[in-house]
Amino acid sequence: MPARADTALKDGPIAILGAGSLGRLWAGYLPAGHAVFFSHPPRPVSGPIHYRLKHPDGAESICQIPVITLTGARPYLLLVTTKAGDTVDALERALPSLPTQLPIILFQNGLGCQQAVAGRWPDRPVLAASTTEGANRPEEELLVHAGRGQTWLGALTDSGRYCVAAAVAQLQSSGLAIEAEPDIHQRLWDKLVVNSGINAFTTILDCPNGDILVDPFFLEHIDDLSEEIAQVMATETRRPLSAEEVRKRIYTVATSTAENTSSMRSDRQRGRSTEIDVINGYIVERGKAAGIATPVNQMLVRRVKDLTE
Ligand code: NAD
Ligand code: KPL
């Protein structure tokens, strides 16, 4: 792979699978003409996707991103910005048409989906991103970049390791902050800790992130939940957190994002399936594998599913 950002077009565009909030964020920040969306089969290609991108400072820019079919496509990178539950299926459809050396970058929250993709395509260069960027679509043709964050990129498969530096250089042309992460599994776990302590509570209580901190239901369960997360994390990562550190991180992020609607609450409000299986559900699964009881995580999974399925 070439290492310089200005070689993108010579070597093909950056293709994005999943033209939702995060896909539109990357497409909107990449230099004009560098990003394309893959069409979403079986939906027909209906010309470019137009939208307004509202930046964190309130300024707006207009985006027009081409939509291409998979047939004959030779992209330079593939950004996968589908929801976790759609990702393997989306790649099953897309990858047979795409070159085997194409770097695939997964942007899903939670864990489980990343291992499923790397396990299904071990010989392809598969990378994962963990991002604190926040984007949402209050209207069909408006993408709001809620606040500037940071993205870390690391390899999930052996061949992915050789692509990290060039992919980072390429994505830096967006102006969004992104850097290589040698231990992406740890980064994904660090984010999982926070999502496991906030998303389900905001969905069950139907409240913004900050409001959970004074709710009796959250206060009843947060200590045991933090203990479960810490115990499972200790079996899974090189830099585990104590239960107290888990609890502190959950409080810190719920406080700093107090007014936000979490992605899970937003999915429920829109009648979409949630990512509970790759958040608290993943902790339940890894707990089972390690012989660690996770009753609070199980209860949260059940309560969210009762509301959304
Ligand atoms: P979204 O629902 O807005 O976008 C997903 C898009 O994927 C939708 O447009 C959907 O139509 C499309 N899609 C589904 N199946 C497809 C297929 N087979 N082929 C092509 N497109 C398909 O979701 P989002 O908010 O953009 O989140 C995407 C992922 O990124 C999630 O896993 C989320 O956890 C993660 N993430 C999002 C943000 C954010 O700020 N939005 C931040 C961090 C991580
Ligand atoms: O990542 C988030 C999400 O909503 O999925 C948090 C950190 C909880 C911010 O809303």
CB 208 within 8 A of CB 260: yes
Q: Which domains does the chain have, with CATH numbers?
A: 14-182 (3.40.50.720), 186-308 (1.10.1040.10)
pLDDT for 81-92, tens place per residue? 999 999 999 999
SS3 at position 142: strand
Instruction: Please report, for residues 39, 80, 100, 122, 270, the alpha-carbon distance to residue 143 in angstroms, rounded to integers and kept in the order given.
Output: 19, 18, 32, 34, 16
pTM of the model: 0.96
- Mutate-to-test residue for ligand 1 from 17, 82, 276, highest number of ligand atoms within 8 A of CB: 82
Residues in Cβ contact with 170 at an 8 Å cutoff, skipping those fewer than 6 apart = 5, 8, 14, 76, 77
Closest CA to 25 of 152, 125, 132: 132
What's the rounded Cα separation, in Å, for the pair 37 and 45?
10
3-state helix, strand, coil in the chain (%, to 5): 45, 20, 35
Instruction: Evaluate: CB of 212 within 6 angstroms of ligand 2.
Output: no
pLDDT for 110-126, tens place per residue? 999 999 999 999 999 99
Residue numbers annotated as active site: 191
What's the rounded Cα separation, in Å, for the pair 84 and 266?
15
CA 290–ligand 2 middle distance (angstroms): 27
Which phi and psi angles does 67 have, rounded to 5°? -115, 130
Exposure on the CB side of residue 44, measured as CA atoms within 13 A: 2
In the structure, what pLDDT confidence band is assigned to residue 73 with cuts at 50, 70 and 90? confident
Nearest-atom number in ligand 1 for the CA of 110 is 34
Q: Average pLDDT of the chain?
A: 94
Q: What is the mean pLDDT of residues 150-159?
A: 98
What's the rounded Cα separation, in Å, for the pair 126 and 60?
33
Nearest-atom number in ligand 2 for the CA of 195 is 8
Q: Within a 10 A sphere around the Cβ of 298, how many other Cβ atoms?
A: 17
pLDDT for 162-214, tens place per residue? 999 999 999 999 999 999 999 999 999 999 999 999 999 999 999 999 999 99
